[in-house]
Amino acid sequence: MASMEPTRQANGAPPLAELAQPISQPLPPQGGHAERPRRGAFAGRPLFWIALTSLVGLVALFLVSRAIRPGAAEPPAIRIPLPAFELTDQRGQRFGLEQLRGRVWIADFIFTTCPTVCPKLTQRMKEIEVRSRDLGGALHLATFTVDPENDTPEVLAAYAASNQLPLERWTLLTGPLDQIESTIVRGFKIAMGKKESSPGIFSIFHGERLVLVDKEGAIRGYYEANDEGISAILRDAGALVK
pLDDT in tens, 10-65: 334 434 333 334 434 444 444 444 444 444 444 455 544 444 444 444 434 333 33
Which spans in 132-215 are helix H? 153-162, 177-181
pLDDT number for residue 205: 85
CB 140 within 8 A of CB 105: yes
The whole-number average pLDDT for the span 64-81 is: 66
pTM of the model: 0.69
pLDDT score, position 72: 57
Question: What are the residues facing 180 on neighbouring strands?
Answer: none
Question: What interhelical angle do 117-131 and 227-241 show, nearest 10?
Answer: 40
The mean of the pLDDT values for the chain is: 79
